[in-house]
Amino acid sequence: MTEILVENELFHLRNDQFSYVFRLVNGQFLMHVHFGRRLSTVQGDILRRFATVPEADFDRNEFRLDRLPQEAPTFGYGDLRDGLLRVRGEDGSDSLNLTYRSYAVGANKPALEGLPSAYDKTSACKTLSVTLADDRLGLECRLYYTIFDDCDILARHVELTNIGAQKLNIERALSACVDFHQSDYKLLTLSGGWARERHMDWRAIMQGIQGVSSARGASSAQSNPFMALATSNADETCGDVFAFALVYSGNFRADATVDQYGQTRAMIGLNDEGFGWRLTSGETFVTPEAVLCYSSRGLSGMSHAFHTLCRRHIVRGRYRDAERPILLNNWEATYFDFDEEKLLAIAAKAAEIGAELFVLDDGWFGHRDADNCSLGDWVEDTRKLPGGLARLSDAIHGRGLKFGLWFEPEMVSPDSDLYRAHPDWCLHAGEMERLTGRNQLVLDMSRTEVCDYVYHAVADVLTRVKIDYVKWDMNRNFSPAGSAGFPPEAQREVPHRYMLGLYSVLERMVTAFPEVLFESCASGGGRFDLGMLHYMPQTWCSDNTDAHDRCFVQYATSLLFPQSAMGAHISAVPNHQTGRTTGMSTRSDVAMGGTYGFELDVTRLPDAEIAEMKHLLTRVKGVRNTLLYGVFHRLQSPFETNGAAWMVVSEDRREAVVTSVRFRAQVNRTLPCLPLRGLDPHCIYHVEETDERLSGDELMTLGLTLEYPSGDDVSCSFVLHAAHD
């Protein structure tokens, strides 16, 4: 049950698992008191912890705020640490002194204007808003906190309103700050690069600042908008974890700063590098939403909270709970080299195997035979598709498959009709030579007319052709992030305005085409974040389709995102990115960790492999609902061991699917055992593959015995069913 208790100037938000507490000091400042285990009451004199700061001292003109744990620290008025907010007034000063004014409690979750955010249709959540203000600047600051009933998540964001007459400049507007009393934590971030997205990075924290950020215009493959502080004893199932993620897809920062007293300030929000926002009288600026998680059960508790958040409060639309179609994508099958005949042959084979959706990737429009032209001209290439998309779509549907199409709507090729007509519609900096990346430029989505073009270009195709699925790609970052649509003093607003423009297009899109399944992509998983998931229920995890490498990417991605959000396909061997060869069953077992699909030319496979694929697919379809929506447990970390293992358990605990991959072959060893998790200890499970009947507690204690085939990168997977009522 969620509660917000406000008593004796103490604000206490809690559900059944955790509490978040702050109080007023001296009637003015919001002091952070506690984020963690649920508390029944908070009566102690927390201020005593900051021994040199008797309450009365806050009247004196001293740097007292520099020691105080705070909810909304600012610059230039006593706190000498990095702050949440920095606003400059007309006199040039950024001294900001926000003091308490009022609070309100609501029984719902407000949406954030123009931005993706968590929602709650059940009214089981509660929201506290606290208003602060600075009279000198004429600035009102409203802090929002929502606590959910069904997941251990606190959503926070900030709204800044100019209630005076001055022109204000926001130089930093982060979304959440939590001051911890100590610094005995290790920091987890998800970092990497193209084809190596979201790997687990642990580091000790120490005095100074440490964290991750992106100034690339996208949340990025290099750093995900997420970080977690964990107690030194924390691991997969034990210890305290405090996690921070952002419901946003653009530039961000997430960091932990340890101060001179050994306190830790954790903050997350918009990256202030290159950021600025003019706020004139009457205007409000809304920060993206931060979602904070407290887990007393290590990383698994954190993941379960985030998975529930994604599944029930972030992802929307008809595919939120629906079975996702098993797709075949032609990218690695043909790249740009295809015609209608070739596509239909692949589609026919895909249908024979049992796939349900055929996706035509890049290369169907303009005269795009390579990645150097035509982005922006979303008209089919009749050299390749003489009957157009409509005829192809009809033929694909005629084979019993749904039809999906790739777009990269936010981009323009210099060699395109769109660019020739509107050379100023891309991000650029005045006369400076335009830098291409993958031979392309970024459309300036901060401009309304560009957003309108992008919306109509995609919507026209979706209206005239029967399309069931869209892969929405984005393959380069912003550099420079300048716009011809705004004056010099507004250029620092462009990256965030771009995101607002993109979100407005996506909102229009999903509203106009509610039947379409959207999958987001950015050179693989370069924009895998909670913001995009609000519009698109799944994201292509990585351009690296190698089963071995995918174990790492998918394992770490599962820290935050559920398996229903992760695009995962079986591709050809030798793998196109790594040259590695792995067996079909390993590739299938790894793809079962996500939405499952194919990305290879099935017309070239021998009959024996086609038969194996049919068999594997029939098995996947039999447990699809559990695979997509079951409770996910990581069992063995590829980052620490010679393999990876995970399992999913249906909500009623009557079905489970277990996967284990071994990387390097081992000889002359006992057979490994894999203790399971999340089963009903009293239930007897039938293990399909071994025909054993084992109790839940036996499986969770002694484990499943693993008999891998010989060789490297081999796997075993098991389907378990409750054997009796």
| Residues acting as catalytic residues | 473, 543
Nearer to ligand GLA, 251 or 577 (CB): 577
463-482: which residues touch ligand GLA (CB under 6 A)? Answer: 473, 475
160-219: which residues touch ligand GLA (CB under 6 A)? Answer: none
Backbone angles phi, psi at 700, to 5 degrees: -85, -15
Nearer to ligand GLA, 46 or 566 (CB): 566
- Min CB(336)–ligand GLA separation in Å: 8
The token duo for 337 is 């080299």
Handedness of CA 577, 581, 583, 589 (dihedral sign): negative
Query: What value, to the nearest 5°, has the Cα angle with vertex 325 and ends 655 and 401?
Result: 135
What are the residues whose beta carbons fall under 8 Å from the beta carbon of 620, sequence distance 6 or more? 326, 588, 592, 596, 627
- How far apart, in whole angstroms, are the C-alpha atoms of residue 180 and residue 589? 41
- How far apart, in whole angstroms, are the C-alpha atoms of residue 19 and residue 15? 7
Q: Please report whether residue 546 would count as binding ligand GLA according to CB under 6 A.
A: no
- Min CB(199)–ligand GLA separation in Å: 18
Nearer to ligand GLA, 330 or 582 (CB): 330
Binding piece for ligand GLA, criterion CB under 6 A, among 1-9, 13-21, 92-100, 521-529: 521-529
Shortest CA distance to 142 belongs to which of 117, 164, 159? 159
**Which residue type sits at 85?**
L
- Min CB(339)–ligand GLA separation in Å: 17
What are the residues whose beta carbons fall under 8 Å from the beta carbon of 428, sequence distance 6 or more? 434, 441, 480, 482, 484
- Min CB(250)–ligand GLA separation in Å: 19
Exactly one of 263, 491, 523, 586 binds ligand GLA (CB under 6 A); which one?
Answer: 523
Binding piece for ligand GLA, criterion CB under 6 A, among 40-48, 516-524, 657-665, 684-692: 516-524
Q: Please report whether residue 563 would count as binding ligand GLA according to CB under 6 A.
A: no
Q: Please report whether residue 543 would count as binding ligand GLA according to CB under 6 A.
A: yes
Whether the Cβ atoms of residue 710 and residue 665 lie closer than 8 Å to each other: yes
Nearer to ligand GLA, 240 or 519 (CB): 519
What are the residues whose beta carbons fall under 8 Å from the beta carbon of 647, sequence distance 6 or more? 632, 633, 635, 656, 657, 658, 659, 676, 677, 678
Exactly one of 22, 35, 365, 406 binds ligand GLA (CB under 6 A); which one?
Answer: 406
- Min CB(413)–ligand GLA separation in Å: 12
Nearer to ligand GLA, 89 or 526 (CB): 526
- Min CB(687)–ligand GLA separation in Å: 36
- Residue number with the shortest CB distance to ligand GLA? 362
Q: Please report whether residue 571 would count as binding ligand GLA according to CB under 6 A.
A: no
Give all strands (DSSP E) within 181-237, no chain letters: 185-191, 199-204, 208-214, 226-231
Burial class, 597, CB count within 10 angstroms (exposed 0-12 / middle 13-18 / buried 19+): buried
- Min CB(600)–ligand GLA separation in Å: 13
Binding piece for ligand GLA, criterion CB under 6 A, among 303-311, 517-525, 527-535, 640-648: 517-525
- Min CB(224)–ligand GLA separation in Å: 17
- How far apart, in whole angstroms, are the C-alpha atoms of residue 214 and residue 254? 9
Q: Please report whether residue 296 would count as binding ligand GLA according to CB under 6 A.
A: no
Nearer to ligand GLA, 137 or 517 (CB): 517
Shortest CA distance to 281 belongs to which of 140, 430, 408, 149? 140
231-250: which residues touch ligand GLA (CB under 6 A)? Answer: none
- Min CB(546)–ligand GLA separation in Å: 14
Binding piece for ligand GLA, criterion CB under 6 A, among 146-154, 232-240, 482-490, 518-526: 518-526
The token duo for 483 is 């716009």
Nearer to ligand GLA, 289 or 543 (CB): 543
Q: Please report whether residue 413 would count as binding ligand GLA according to CB under 6 A.
A: no
318-377: which residues touch ligand GLA (CB under 6 A)? Answer: 331, 361-362, 371
Residue ranges in 281-365 assigned as alpha helix (H): 298-308, 331-334, 340-353
Q: Please report whether residue 521 would count as binding ligand GLA according to CB under 6 A.
A: yes
- How far apart, in whole angstroms, are the C-alpha atoms of residue 270 and residue 253? 6
With contacts defined by CB under 6 A, how many residues of the chain interact with ligand GLA?
12
The helix (run of H) or strand (run of E) holding residue 319 is none
Shortest CA distance to 45 belongs to which of 80, 16, 77, 9? 9
Question: 3-class secondary structure for 276-305?
Answer: CEEECCCCEEECCEEEEEEECEHHHHHHHH
Residues at the contact surface with ligand GLA, assessed by CB under 6 A: 331, 361-362, 371, 406, 473, 475, 521, 523-524, 540, 543
